[in-house]
Amino acid sequence: MQQSISSFQLENGLTLLVEPMSHVQSAAYAILVPAGGIYESEGVNGTAAVLADLIMRGAGERNSRELIDTLDGYGVQ
Domain that holds residue 55: 6-73
16 sits in which H/E element: strand 15-18
11-51: per-residue pLDDT in tens?
998 888 999 888 888 888 777 777 778 888 888 888 888 87
Residue 1 lies in a domain: no
pLDDT score recorded for residue 7:
93
DSSP summary character for residue 7: E
Confidence of residue 2 (pLDDT cuts 50, 70, 90): low
pLDDT value of residue 36: 79
Q: Domains in the chain: how many in total?
A: 1
What integer is the mean pLDDT of 1-5? 75
Q: Is residue 24 part of a domain?
A: yes
Report helix angle 64-73 to 47-57, nearest 10. 120
CA angle 44, 32, 57 (to 5 degrees): 55
55: phi > 0 → left, psi -120 to 50 → alpha, else beta; which?
A: alpha
Structural domain includes residue 39: yes
- 46-68 tens-digit pLDDT: 888 887 777 777 777 878 788 77
